[in-house]
A and B are shown apart, each in its own frame.
Chain A
Amino acid sequence: MAVRPSPSRRDVLADGVKAGGVACVAALALAAHVEEAQQAKAASAIRPPGALKEPEFLAACVRCGLCVNACPYDTLRLAEWAEDAPLGTPYFIAREIPCHMCPDVPCAKACPTGALDRNIAGIRQADMGVAVLVGHETCLNYKGMTCSICHRVCPIRNEAITLEAQVIRGRKMLIPVVHSDRCTGCGMCEKHCVIGHAAIRVLPRALGLGGGGRNPAGRAS
């Protein structure tokens, strides 16, 4: 094999700068992709109990699926390509299989990285999201019937969802009201809502509750 002439300092520098440039561009592209994926998908992904806030979660989760294996109800899944959560991260679709709220939180206990808080005091401290009655025109209770299935299946009975008597347009109705300080976002209500597309849904807390200071855009003049 021919002995290569040792490269000049200029060559080494030029190669280094080129390669460094490639690395920077690749890093930027990847970071941009991550940013986009977070914004587009975090809104719909309901994380397992004990999950850190989304940005910290995405820094810590190695996407190993130990939580998925630990779940006795097959609730959790790892996001496949082009699904509603960043690739490989655990989430669940409440309408299919909600969280059954095991008292010992085996999924969080199984997490090797702390992306799920293994020291979570109990499942009632979990904050997977919050149930929101989104279908004010489709919910049967709003139509004057007493379906109340969401209230009946809620594992935090009479605390996370209560039935409040209200008079709407002259009719007396029993309206399911979610109390966000008790609701863990397990999704049992969404799972069992009897209409074709659930009128009550689990949403990430920031999306479901709103609130938090003033509108940064100011008031419309």
Chain B
Amino acid sequence: MKPRPGFRLTAESRALGIEAKGVLRAHKWWLLRRTTQVCVILIFALSPVGGYWIARGDFASSRILGLVSFSDPYIFLQTLAAGAAPVGAALTGALLVGLLYLVVGGRAYCSWVCPVNVVTDAAHWLREKLGVTRDRKLDRRTRLWILLATFLAAFGSSAVAWEFVNPVSLLQRGLIFGMGLGWAVILAVFLLDFAITRRGWCGHLCPVGAFYGLIGKVSLTRVSAARREDCTNCGACFNVCPEPHVITPALKGEGTRLVLSGDCVNCGGCIDVCPVDVFEMASRARLLNERRDAAQLSGS
């Protein structure tokens, strides 16, 4: 991509999209998910609003409008590994949240809810603007091994071990209940992503993302490269995408147009930046249609 003269606030990868569709439409999904991220935190942090509790608790476990209980399935599973009994609101809450992400896409948690995503996106933005190129290579699968390690540690120590350090829990809880020195940990995550490894935390290390990625392998909402014939090979989608490897099979492959990798965070960045609107949000159910169409083609 050609660097443009002068400083612009928007990411370089969005330039073509902005040119073709205007600033607003080239940030549609970005605006939606940033709004969601801020609102989710605010609903917790500002409650009680005028004496009324919209949401109690935090992301680990909460009670919404005094009616529904939500619990983080990953933290809940850690308590089970630590030997706690599966009881009460946490069990049903974890099932409910698991179900929710089965519908909206596993790692939609990462890009639509998790506040660390704002930190790492900011680090990536700054990295791009300052032209930092240092990129210490890590294996993307490292996060899966860390995920396994968190369960082993919970089992071995009989405590919810990862939650003694988890930056994701630390930030969301900190924003809701008070942060203290926890900012130091968040700064470390920022610096990792800014100066050491491109998309280091969310893309390589975070076991929370790895867990939701496993849900994403079977979740319903998926991005589709529906009009991939129109692709101009501008590379904007690969540049904006936090997990670029997920795009290739859908955009350049012969098979399904759906982005099926659990690593996809459903952020809609590719939809925003594509100047010719190749991508759209879709449902996994299209797999069935694609199969039927393929069968008809080969049958006729």
Contacts and interface: CB of A to CB of B under 8 A. Distances in A.
B170 A65 contact: no
B84 interface: yes
Interface stretch (B14-22, B111-119, B172-180, B226-234): B172-180
B58 A64 contact: yes
Interface stretch (B158-166, B191-199, B271-279): B158-166
Contact of A80 (B85, B88, B178, B248): B178
A23 B148 contact: yes
A20 B157 contact: no
B69 interface: yes
Contacts of A82: 180-181
Interface residues of B, number: 61
A207 interface: no
Interface in A18-42: 19-20, 22-24, 26-28, 30-31, 33-35, 37-38
A19 B141 CA distance: 9
Contact of B158 (A55, A86, A118): A55
B217 interface: no
B224 interface: no
A80 B181 contact: yes
Interface residues of A, number: 45
Interface stretch (A109-117, A137-145, A178-186, A209-217): A109-117
B145 A112 contact: no
B82 interface: yes
B165 A30 contact: yes
Contacts of A88: 60, 163, 169-170, 173
Contact of B176 (A24, A55, A65): A65
Contacts of B148: 23, 27
Contact of B88 (A31, A35, A114): A114
Given A59-B82, A65-B57, A24 B149 contact: yes
Contact of B57 (A58, A64, A80, A118): A64
Contacts of B93: 112
A68 interface: yes
B243 to A, nearest CB: 15
A64 B64 CA distance: 13
A83 interface: yes
A206 interface: no
B56 interface: yes
30 contacts: A19-B145, A22-B145, A23-B146, A28-B153, A30-B149, A30-B157, A33-B164, A37-B164, A56-B84, A58-B159, A59-B154, A59-B160, A60-B84, A61-B79, A62-B163, A63-B75, A63-B160, A64-B57, A65-B177, A66-B56, A66-B61, A69-B47, A77-B177, A78-B178, A80-B182, A81-B170, A81-B180, A88-B173, A112-B57, A113-B87
Interface of B: 47, 53, 56-63, 69, 71-72, 75-76, 79, 82-85, 87-90, 93, 139, 141-142, 145-146, 148-150, 152-154, 156-165, 169-170, 173-174, 176-182, 184-185, 248, 252
